[in-house]
Chain A
Amino acid sequence: MATVMETKHAPENQAAVYVFEAPVRIWHWTHTFSILVCAATGYLIAYPLPSVGGEASQHFLMGNLRLIHFISSYVFAIGFVVRLYWAFVGNRFSRELFLPPIFKAAWWEGLWYELRFYLFLTREQRKTPGHNPMAQIAMWLFNVLLGLVMIGTGFALYGEGLGLGSWADRLFGWVIPFFGGAQNTRMWHLMGMWLLIVFAIIHVYMAIRADIIGRQSSVSTIISGWRTYKDDLP
């Protein structure tokens, strides 16, 4: 076993790969920040803080929380659109987020392998310069699909305040009857926040785990953009 592996040692196997270009990295951290701000302010919209004293004219607490939520939502949504644009002009890794290659048998084989790997059924560790198939599907579900759901429900609710005929109402107003009314739309939007929290917990865990015990860099990659490897095996 050891001899077989030794024959595969080669310096090119350890060559770093530039995976996340600057716009992708900037998007990642802007996205992270906007989710944090949206989740915090959104939770306080669902469960407002204890009442402030004095006259209503002296305060604008809810109004400001909602304002921050809306600004942060715009950052989220515009970031999403810019990120989508970058999938067209960026490197090959920039498309992984939007288009998991589900029609390739190798991708499904990779997914099966990742499943076994994370269930401790295999010790074999593969190198993946971009996202592995399991990460791709998670990214697609939670960042593309859930991202669109949050943008759709969010702007539909925002359009309620802007009024009938506003741009948000014309583009996203159909979402409200689709979810069965404004109250349901709000609750699904709140549910989306929880799903993003679930994603964040698992995402951060996996990134740190991969960095510590994996064969390749992970946390530093989303900071510097470079995927480096700890060994020179294939």
Chain B
Amino acid sequence: MPVQETFYEVMRRHGITRRSFLKFCSLTAAGLGLGPEFAGKLAHALENKPRTPVIWLHGLECTCCTESFIRSGNPLAGDVVLSMISLDYDDTLMAAAGHQAEELLEQTIEKYDGQYILACEGNPPLNEDGMYCIQGGRPYVEKLRHMADHCKAIIAWGSCASWGCVQAARPNPTRATPIHKVILDKPIVKVPGCPPIAEVMTGVITYMIAFDDLPELDRQGRPKMFYSQRLHDKCYRRPHFDAGQFVERFDDEGARRGYCLYKVGCKGPTTYNACSTIEWNGGLSWPVKSGHGCLGCAEDNFWDKGSFYSAVTDFGVLGDVEADADRVGAILAGAAAIGVAAHAAVSVASHLSGSKQGSKENG
């Protein structure tokens, strides 16, 4: 495999026509929210740049990221990107197995030291020296650290790699830890979601390998092009929210009429993702469109924030005691009211006895 091979050559070798390639370029440029001139720039980059290898590692995860990725709504994008990345290492998708597969990793390090992109699906558990996730006879965290040492940049696929997700939910017995808390010295792009949207994944990876750069990231390390708005901001049910029309129960008239799901716990107003615009499975649907509120799966720690069916949720102030702001607040306000009443009663009693004494003293 010559280092000089370009993406375009790889794609052609995989039987993708030039026409399809150009279509892919314009589609991806549009998907990334780039201007019309970028379709040409993208094609130029893919035709001329040597192919960046991608290593796809799996830690503690459920493979839903891979499942989403290979079901990219645009089969073309899926094919193209898959042919670009599956060449190296992805233990779910590649043909090689066992020692042969593990050897590929060392070969990649030898050939492309400091040049490859490390795509991490899932996260490493750190408890018991990482023994809760063993691959090829050693803890996954060691493999991750080893591969990260030689990579150029890291993509943290999904909520597992980005935040921790289900396996990091309280009490997190294996101490599953998101990538950015384990690898501190490499640029990391977080692509959260459980799983992330396929088009978001192909978009991010194409941008990175085509422009040899990280996409613009927000404060929390997510690509702005897909994570700069909440679902709520572009939700097609938003007019019902603004009007004050809500589903109260899943079997009521409001649910039949497609009202806003906020009162039955939709986390759209607090979740940053592109579901309400890109949708899922090629624009077929997305949770709110199918009549169920958003769970907020792309948000940090979404699993530990209490009910999926309540707009007001727990926020874990009191450790393991489940408490939402209203319960704590009402208890505090009630205590204040009772305290004030009691204090007032004692004050009156004290004042009355005091004024008797005082009148005696002042004569």
Q: Which residues of A contact B (CB under 8 A)?
A: 1-2, 5, 46-52, 56-63, 65, 118, 120, 123, 160-161, 163-164, 173-174, 176-177, 180-184, 186-188, 190-191, 193-195, 197-198, 201-202, 205, 209, 213
Contacts and interface: CB of A to CB of B under 8 A. Distances in A.
Interface in B216-234: 218-220, 224, 228-230, 233
B361 A1 contact: yes
A183 B270 contact: yes
A183 B325 contact: no
* Chain B contact residues, majority secondary structure: helix
Given A180-B301, A187-B313, A49 B337 contact: no
30 contacts: A2-B362, A5-B362, A48-B244, A48-B262, A51-B259, A56-B239, A59-B244, A60-B242, A63-B242, A65-B244, A160-B230, A176-B219, A177-B220, A180-B315, A181-B302, A181-B305, A182-B270, A182-B271, A183-B296, A183-B315, A187-B313, A191-B315, A191-B328, A194-B332, A194-B333, A197-B333, A197-B336, A201-B336, A202-B336, A213-B351
B244 A184 contact: no
Contact of A187 (B239, B248, B315): B315
B91 interface: no
A63 B354 CA distance: 55
Interface in B193-239: 218-220, 224, 228-230, 233, 239
Interface stretch (B58-66, B280-288, B340-348): B340-348
Contacts of B299: 181-183
Given A160-B230, A174-B219, A177-B219, A56 B242 contact: yes
Task: Kindly list the 10 A-B residue pairs having the minimum CB-CB distance in the complex, ordered from nearest.
Answer: A194-B329, A61-B244, A182-B270, A59-B243, A63-B242, A191-B325, A56-B243, A190-B325, A183-B270, A187-B315
Given A2-B363, A51-B245, A182-B270, A198 B332 contact: yes
Contacts of B354: 123
Contact of B300 (A1, A49, A180): A180
Contacts of B332: 194-195, 198
A173 B344 CA distance: 43
A106 B219 CA distance: 46
Given A120-B346, A183-B296, A197-B336, 8 more contacts: A2-B363, A49-B244, A51-B245, A56-B239, A177-B220, A177-B300, A180-B301, A198-B333
Contact of B311 (A46, A50, A213): A46
Contacts of B229: 163-164
B259 to A, nearest CB: 6
Given A46-B311, A48-B262, A187 B271 contact: no
A47 B312 contact: yes
Contacts of B244: 48-49, 51-52, 59-62, 65
Contact of A163 (B228, B312, B346): B228
B231 to A, nearest CB: 11
Contacts of B325: 187-188, 190-191, 194
B262 A202 contact: no
B301 A194 contact: no
Contacts of B9: none
A33 B303 CA distance: 38
A191 B330 CA distance: 10
Contact of A182 (B230, B326, B328): B230
Contacts of B267: 183
